[in-house]
Amino acid sequence: MQILDKIKLPEDIKNLSLKELELLANDLRNVITKYTLANGGHLASNLGVVDLTCALNYVFDFPKDKLIFDVGHQCYAYKILTGRLKEFNTLRQKDGINGFPKREESQYDTVNSGHASTALSIACGMARGDIDGNIICLIGDGAMTGGLFFEALNDVLTLNKKVIFIINDNNMSISGNVGFINEYLKIVRKYGNEFTFLDIEMLNNIDGHNISDLIGKLKYAKNSKKTLVLHVVTKKGKGFTDAELNPSKYHSVGKVNAKPTYCQVFGKVMANLADKNQDIFAITAAMTDGTGLSEFAQKYPQRLIDVGIAEGHAVTMSAGLALAGKKPYVAIYSTFLQRAYDNILHDVCLNKLPVVFCIDRAGFVGGDGETHQGLYDVAYLGATPNMSIFAPKDGDELEDILTWSQSFDSPLAIRYPKNEISRNYNIHTPIEYGKWERIVESDSQIVLVSNGETLANVCESAEILKSQGIDVDVINARFIRPYDEELLDTLKGKTIFFFEEYIMQNSLYAQALDKFNKEQDDSTQIYGINIPNVSYCVATRNQLLKEVGLDTDGIVNFVKRKLN
């Protein structure tokens, strides 16, 4: 790392020769590969943009000029070149370097961003605000498949301001790109067509790994007086052979799970159900692999619909499938599904259509930080009419609810976490709409209520409490909406604790408080821990659970404190 060690801030790059810039790019790839493989993170997407990042820092003057990342996970080389080399070994660790742009981390990070298709909209606003400097959008990994990009493109044409937007064309999102835009870029790559119909100058087919050519084109863009587009062709995973050959696998890397994950169970069950039910369709938004649907896609390519980074369209299109008599399963991460809230409410729920939302990455999501936490789906889905919400406690219960859902005739959300299945239960009561399940039953006056993966910590806490002479009952509140009012009525006069891995709005704890307050029931004591509605930075799921008191020690201490 002889060259990289000399770079403290971006201005140090400007005196390097072309040969030194190429050596710098190699150093950057080595550092990114080393620490991303060690800590987890987005590998292939960052390796592909290293040469372009070097050229950008050579030509432009950051932070006076503003670089807006879209999607934010392309920012690793930029972070290293803007003074964060020494801390980069803490990538995606608690109190360490965030895997996405973060304003609180550095003056060089323009905006916190982790979702796709937002950069050009941000740029339009900044341009109208008369930012003193160039505004550059680095748009990649399928972000142009999102509708927000085209809304902003429509607006940017009305600006009497200059915006530079760079298309990092690596032909990939998380999975391979799909749809018209992907096909259009293929034509651009082959024939060099321009966006002349939009009256925007476009520099086509720039080699994203030729630093000399990149510098020349970027200098031209810097000196131009008008908005223009640079179409840069890159190789996702560049410089790391395994990532080049399998960019989808190396899009995001992490530890190998010793136990099955909910995502893996979901994918296997969906493929099996589709064997017998020809009406089943699986819909996703640029994350076929990430949601576990690869096997489904291989077996039933005509019934796997990847719409690109277009969550709103995925949901509304699924409403159309349901109207046509099909059974759509929409598999989207919790943090991304919130981008389609109006579509869920207006197109699915108001029409009471039997669309099943399979919500991966629900709850705490560790290393990705605040932009990717799945803490809000219960709150926003609980505010829609006709929506039911279910949280399976293990893989068997996930299979049970997916099987049961085939004949359910209203909207249903099934939420499950990213992590592996930590506990397999001996008790599996058949699914009955709106009904909970007793896991531990005795004559105790103390009841612990939870669901999903959080239930594992509650069960362990119950065992610890029992060893300390405190008997408790445990209930799996697998239906969050509707809740099991009949069972809850049997608990009147007891002390009930709710432990839930989502914010309090529309939680079971909130619903129970409302119920007993309306009934003016003073005999029942109700306590609960939900996730406080603040942003959560990078940490492991267990660290975050400990922070909010949903680890076993926190649960045990909370129960004992309230009982005393």
Indicate which residues carry an active-site annotation. 236, 311, 339
Count Cα atoms within 13 angstroms, Cβ side, for 191. 8
3-class SS string, 456-506: HHHHHHHHHHHHCCCCCEEEECCEEECCCHHHHHCCCCCEEEEECCCCCCC
8 A C-beta contact, residue 73 and residue 97 = no
Q: Which of 365, 251, 265, 356 is nearest to 314 (CA)?
A: 356
What SS3 state is found at 339? helix
Backbone angles phi, psi at 367, to 5 degrees: -60, -25
The helix (run of H) or strand (run of E) holding residue 388 is strand 388-390
Range list of β-strands (E), 35-185: 66-70, 135-140, 164-169
Q: CA-to-CA distance for 47 and 34, rounded, in angstroms?
A: 12
The helix (run of H) or strand (run of E) holding residue 155 is helix 147-156
How many residues belong to the chain? 564
Q: Which of 421, 365, 371 is nearest to 396 (CA)?
A: 421
8 A C-beta contact, residue 485 and residue 515 = yes
CA distances to 280, 300, 304, 430 from 274, in Å? 6, 8, 11, 21
Backbone angles phi, psi at 124, to 5 degrees: -60, -45
Q: CA-to-CA distance for 307 and 318, rounded, in angstroms?
A: 11
8 A C-beta contact, residue 447 and residue 497 = yes
Q: Would strands 437-440 and 473-476 be described as parallel, antiparallel, or unpaired?
A: antiparallel
Residue type, 318: S
The helix (run of H) or strand (run of E) holding residue 228 is strand 228-233
